[in-house]
């Protein structure tokens, strides 16, 4: 079988130029263009064992779906969650099922997951596609993360090395790194600013103040950021002088709504002088796609309660961690769920062995997106990308399992 062009979801780069080869046994033998993280991702062996389990015992798929329907239909307030590793089509099917059940649906695993969405609702965003960054940015500022290690192809594909009619690759770009420790990314930088740990918010406020020509006390700035005010002023002038600046952020900054709001405000301030955009480096899976589907279907991106027959929005109230901590959900449908399963009746769908699958009342093994089934996934900048199957499997896709489950409940 010739190599199959597919998309890797092992990190936020979401590289769509991967050529996947498999042998006669279905094992991946080559993943051309994939980085070391992608190679490890695709090299995971196919899941083995029964397609379906009920309370730890092997069952047929029909039996498992019938038991799952009983659990979810009998619940007072079921929770549909996970979704981060699901295709956009599977999230859409999960949304339809949640609507039918009058369930809560959410994809977040922590407050940090929701930070960028909540910041967007408070302050908007100044952003672009990664293609625009690759074509036009002459200054790249990486804040709070070791991008070269966590996203090995980001520099190659998007932010530092691409050439265009406006940019002649790495030599036409300035790389600045702001971080609390020296990393592989910092060693590649033209300039490294060592910020005190957990001081991103203070540093962003300093940059905004200097940009607005507000006089600051030098001793206070040094005390609160660990960096001299002259260094911050120098950085402001460089940012103003850039033709097109792109800030790629992660770590603690990306997990803080307050920091992300301040960052958006800084980007907006800079537009009075030049063009700057900011975007997270992104994480593995399809979080952006999950948020987009929920927004498209309900008007809200996360923490949606459908119990009253119409969508209600409750970040911090109907998000996954909050509901499980308070014990409000009395059953859960876990789709690609990361972490331990809750101590309530659960139905788990996943392509890999996880703690949630092992402890689930009903566990259904599904086809692995990008290896055993196709669909779409959304890159961190909102661009939708196709994923394709390179081998067959005896397991249903997540979308198929959810649609069958919905049909059973309808009957």
Q: What is the pLDDT of residue 339?
A: 86
Q: What is the mean pLDDT of the chain?
A: 95
Q: Does 133 share its domain with 255?
A: yes
Average pLDDT over every residue of 113-127: 91
Q: Does 305 share its domain with 397?
A: yes
Residue 38: pLDDT above 90?
yes
Distance CA 218, CA 370 (A): 53
Q: Does 222 share its domain with 189?
A: yes
| Beta bridge partner(s), residue 245 | 139, 276
Q: Report yes or no on 192 lying in a domain.
A: yes
Q: Which of 270, 296, 318 is where one domain is finished?
A: 270
Q: Report yes or no on 205 lying in a domain.
A: yes
For residue 142, name the pLDDT band (cuts at 50, 70, 90): very high
Q: What are the pLDDT digits (tens) for 376-394?
A: 999 999 999 999 999 889 9
Q: What are the pLDDT digits (tens) for 323-365?
A: 999 999 999 999 999 889 999 999 999 999 999 999 999 999 9
Q: Which of 224, 241, 270 is where one domain is finished?
A: 270
Where does residue 49 fall: left (phi above 0), alpha (psi -120 to 50 degrees), or beta otherwise? Answer: left
Provide the 8-state DSSP code for 13: T
Range of the domain at 192: 127-270
Where does residue 14 fall: left (phi above 0), alpha (psi -120 to 50 degrees), or beta otherwise? Answer: left
Residue 139: pLDDT above 90?
yes
Average pLDDT over every residue of 220-230: 97
Q: Report yes or no on 37 lying in a domain.
A: no
Q: Report yes or no on 398 lying in a domain.
A: yes
Residue 240: pLDDT above 90?
yes
Q: Report yes or no on 325 lying in a domain.
A: yes
Please tell me the pTM assigned to this model. Answer: 0.93
Higher pLDDT, 132 or 338: 132
Distance CA 242, CA 274 (A): 7
CATH number at residue 254: 3.40.228.10
Q: Report yes or no on 41 lying in a domain.
A: no
Q: What are the pLDDT digits (tens) for 269-291?
A: 999 999 999 999 999 999 999 99
Residue 260: pLDDT above 90?
yes
Q: Report yes or no on 38 lying in a domain.
A: no
Q: Does 316 share its domain with 373?
A: yes
Domain count, the chain: 2
Residue 24: pLDDT above 80?
no
Q: Does 317 share its domain with 406?
A: yes
CATH number at residue 380: 3.40.50.740
For residue 112, name the pLDDT band (cuts at 50, 70, 90): confident
Q: Which of 239, 270, 301 is where one domain is finished?
A: 270
């Amino acid at each position: 079988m010739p190599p199959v062009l597919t998309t890797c979801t092992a990190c936020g780069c979401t590289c769509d130029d991967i050529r996947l080869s498999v042998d006669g046994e279905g094992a991946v033998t080559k993943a051309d263009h994939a980085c070391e993280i992608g190679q490890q991702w695709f090299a995971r062996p196919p899941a083995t064992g029964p397609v379906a389990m009920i309370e730890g015992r092997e069952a047929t798929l029909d039996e498992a779906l019938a038991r799952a329907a009983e659990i979810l239909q009998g619940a007072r307030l079921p929770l549909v969650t996970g979704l981060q590793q699901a295709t956009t089509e599977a999230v859409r099917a999960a949304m339809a099922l949640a609507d039918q059940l009058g369930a809560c649906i959410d994809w977040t695993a922590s407050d940090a997951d929701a930070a960028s969405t909540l910041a967007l609702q408070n302050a908007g965003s100044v952003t672009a596609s990664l293609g625009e960054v690759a074509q036009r940015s002459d200054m790249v500022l990486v804040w709070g993360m070791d991008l070269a290690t966590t996203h090995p192809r980001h520099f190659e594909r998007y932010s530092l090395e691409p050439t265009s009619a406006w940019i002649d690759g790495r030599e036409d770009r300035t790389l600045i790194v702001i971080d609390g420790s020296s990393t592989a990314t910092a060693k590649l930088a033209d300039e490294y600013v060592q910020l005190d740990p957990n001081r991103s918010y203070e540093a962003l406020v300093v940059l905004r103040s200097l940009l607005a020509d507000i006089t600051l006390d030098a001793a206070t700035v040094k005390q609160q950021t660990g960096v001299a005010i002259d260094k911050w002023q120098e950085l402001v002038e460089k940012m103003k002088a850039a033709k097109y600046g792109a800030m790629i952020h992660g770590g603690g900054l990306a997990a803080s709504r307050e920091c992300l709001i301040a960052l958006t405000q800084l980007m907006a301030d800079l537009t009075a002088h030049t063009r700057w955009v900011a975007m997270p480096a992104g994480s593995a899976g399809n979080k952006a796609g999950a948020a987009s589907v929920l927004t498209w279907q309900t008007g809200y991106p996360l923490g949606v309660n459908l119990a009253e027959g119409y969508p209600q929005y409750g970040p911090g109230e109907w998000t996954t961690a909050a509901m499980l901590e308070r014990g409000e959900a009395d059953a859960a449908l876990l789709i690609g769920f990361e972490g331990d399963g809750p101590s309530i009746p659960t139905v788990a769908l996943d392509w890999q062995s996880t703690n949630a699958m092992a402890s689930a009342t009903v566990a259904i093994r599904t086809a692995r997106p990008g290896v055993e089934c196709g669909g779409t996934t959304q890159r961190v900048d909102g661009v939708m990308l196709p994923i394709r199957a390179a081998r067959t499997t005896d397991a249903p896709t997540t979308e198929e399992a959810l649609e069958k489950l919905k049909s059973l409940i309808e009957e």
